[in-house]
Chains A and B, each alone.
Chain A
Amino acid sequence: AQSVSQHNHHVILSEAASLELGCNYSYGGTVNLFWYVQYPGQHLQLLLKYFSGDPLVKGIKGFEAEFIKSKFSFNLRKPSVQWSDTAEYFCAVTRNTGFQKLVFGTGTRLLVSP
């Protein structure tokens, strides 16, 4: 079965530190990849997505992610985090076929201290 792994469950950083959150998936075919963010008390918002093309994807709020097909990975990065980045981050994957079932990772809770 298709699965998505986020190895970091909790991450604590100081402001201005660099961030990298890991995401690995198990499906061997062509995939579409997403990172969603859920700020405290708010709904899921799309940070960025990869369908095809340049494997380095830039999203909103200074986030980027790199798709490395050989490693089945789609890690999320930000060079300098802010206190307002405190949130839960979810990686999600869907097959590049007609059916759009999203499979979510377990999430990473990021706490940025001022």
Chain B
Amino acid sequence: NAGVMQNPRHLVRRRGQEARLRCSPMKGHSHVYWYRQLPEEGLKFMVYLQKENIIDESGMPKERFSAEFPKEGPSILRIQQVVRGDSAAYFCASSPIGQGEQYFGPGTRLTVT
């Protein structure tokens, strides 16, 4: 059973471009979570999704950031018009139900130049 997969593992974008980060949850998991980790800091919750629904987006910046988890395919975290402050590691996690243990992916490291 493959674990949580994220791609790309590394992404470089120039200021003003768009970044798309993908997360494929573990098989059978319908709950997905996105976290951001700035250099030398802890993880910050961003958003919690179930298929086709956003359950909690209280950690998402109000502008430029959006997330989706369609009925088919991976969850996508989209950052429009990236700025240098968006440079961070973005981790995705999944769980089979909305409780208990979360399984994390290896992360996508975004660098904005």
A and B pair up: no
Q: Give the A-binding residues of B (Cβ under 8 A).
A: none
Q: Give the B-binding residues of A (Cβ under 8 A).
A: none
